[in-house]
Amino acid sequence: MTDNPLLQRLDGFDLRFEEVKTFITDPSVIADQKRYVRLTKEYHDLEKILNTAEKYKMLLAGIEEAKKVIASEDDEELREMAREELERDSAMIPDVEMEIKMLLVPADPEDAKNAVVEIRGGTGGDEAALFAGDLFRMYQKFAERRGWQLAVTNYNEGTAGGYKEICFTLTGEDVYGVMKYESGVHRVQRVPATETQGRVHTSAATVAVLPEAEEFDVEINEGAIKWDTFRSGGAGGQNVNKVESGVRLRYVWKNPVTGEEDEILIECTETRDQPKNKERALSRLRTYIYSREREKYLSDIAQRRKTLVSTGDRSAKIRTYNFPQGRMTDHRINYTVYNLDSFMDGNIQECIDRLAIAENTERLKESAL
């Protein structure tokens, strides 16, 4: 097994697992919540990989042992049992290898985040608002099945019921990684309650799923700050004028939006104490960069939302819900179910699983594992 390329890729994982296991019991790590959460996730990810790898090794060992029995054993009954074991274990190998490969593909760090979901009625007026309400109830029941917490943040009811717009947060395990596949235009075909001629109408609603924002730390390379000191002017007595308590910092900051470099200049003469002025100047620098980084974050979110929902036009659909035929079709993977009532009741996991498999297959190709 030493020349098995897949096992060779797992070299060192057990050592890192033991290292992380030690870290997450360290009081200093536990006190640093951000680091503790990150390491705990890494611990569970490594645990999954190593457990699957152990299963793989046992299958390989079983195959080798069965081959030896078939080649050397005289007892036909034992040889038959070995042949059955060889067939069974060999059949399991491809699935376990695929499972290991998928676990080795780097996960999207946003998948573990909570999610903000926005549903808006698109083309179709009152019927679109009613359908937006149906989608909300579908996600509400799905969230209950997953054990997630749902909290509505704002909504605008439709004149005939449903919602012109409803926004809510979902909190739980791997929420964004599951719900991200719901972003896009959802098209519905059915006879509206207000339709007297029994004609089928087509309407649409848009769904945007965004990772919940987290507080981010501003990273400043303090070694790159250029400091000057000078004598403060103005009121404050002799000490202010004679001692170089005023500070001036210059820091080159790369704009994350344009890529251009800007020199930030901050002066502070608020106190008679130079260290305190330095501290306050650093605080101002941090606040300035935070505000610029937040501008970028909000810009990115706005762009992502626009990309996710397109225009709300029926032609940009990801799914069609056809009520007269009792079917739902996901156009991204050409998947159809003929139990629409169950799907609208929140039983959407199988469709999401198929979408995840399709995405992971592409990611696996890109990673060349």
| Range among 121-130, 159-168, 194-203, 307-316 with highest mean pLDDT value | 159-168
Give the Cα separation of 166 and 155 in Å (integer). Answer: 4
| Range among 96-105, 137-146, 149-158, 299-308 with highest mean pLDDT value | 137-146
**What is the band of 239 on the pLDDT scale with cuts at 50, 70, 90?**
very low
Q: Is the pLDDT of residue 233 over 70?
A: no
CATH architecture group of domain 5-104: Up-down Bundle (1.20)
Mean pLDDT, to the nearest integer, of 129-158?
A: 94
Token pair belonging to 247: 């500070």
List pLDDT tens digits, range 51-80. 999 999 999 999 999 999 888 888 888 889
Give the Cα separation of 38 and 213 in Å (integer). Answer: 16
Q: Is the pLDDT of residue 163 over 90?
A: yes
3-class SS shares of the chain: helix, strand, coil, % to 5:
50, 20, 30
- Comparing C-alpha atoms, which of 180, 204, 134 is closest to residue 356? 180
List pLDDT tens digits, range 266-280. 888 777 888 888 887
**What is the band of 132 on the pLDDT scale with cuts at 50, 70, 90?**
very high
Give the Cα separation of 252 and 46 in Å (integer). Answer: 39
Q: What does the pLDDT read at residue 278?
A: 86
Q: What does the pLDDT read at residue 134?
A: 96
5-104 and 222-302, same CATH topology: no
Q: Which residue has the tokens 């007269």?
A: 324
Q: What does the pLDDT read at residue 126?
A: 86
Q: Which residue has the higher pLDDT, 58 or 308?
A: 58
Torsion of CA 238, 243, 247, 248, to 10 degrees: 100
The CATH code of the domain at 115-215+308-367 is 3.30.70.1660
Q: What's this model's pTM, rounded to 2 decimal places?
A: 0.64
List pLDDT tens digits, range 89-108. 999 998 888 888 878 877 77
Residues 6+ apart with CB under 8 A from 234: 240, 269
Query: Domain residues of the chain, as ranges?
Result: 5-104, 115-215+308-367, 222-302
Q: Is the pLDDT of residue 35 over 50?
A: yes
Fill in the DSSP letter of residue 235.
Answer: S
Residues 6+ apart with CB under 8 A from 61: 1
Q: Is the pLDDT of residue 236 over 50?
A: no
Q: Is the pLDDT of residue 313 over 60?
A: no
Residues 6+ apart with CB under 8 A from 3: none
**What is the band of 298 on the pLDDT scale with cuts at 50, 70, 90?**
low
Mean pLDDT, to the nearest integer, of 30-34?
A: 82
Mean pLDDT, to the nearest integer, of 154-183?
A: 90
Q: Give the angle subtended at the CA of 356 by the CAs of 352 and 359, to the nearest 5°.
A: 140
Residues 6+ apart with CB under 8 A from 114: 169, 170, 171, 172, 175, 176, 211, 212
Q: Which residue has the higher pLDDT, 171 or 366?
A: 171
Fold exhibited by the domain 222-302: Double Stranded RNA Binding Domain (3.30.160)
Token pair belonging to 94: 């491809």
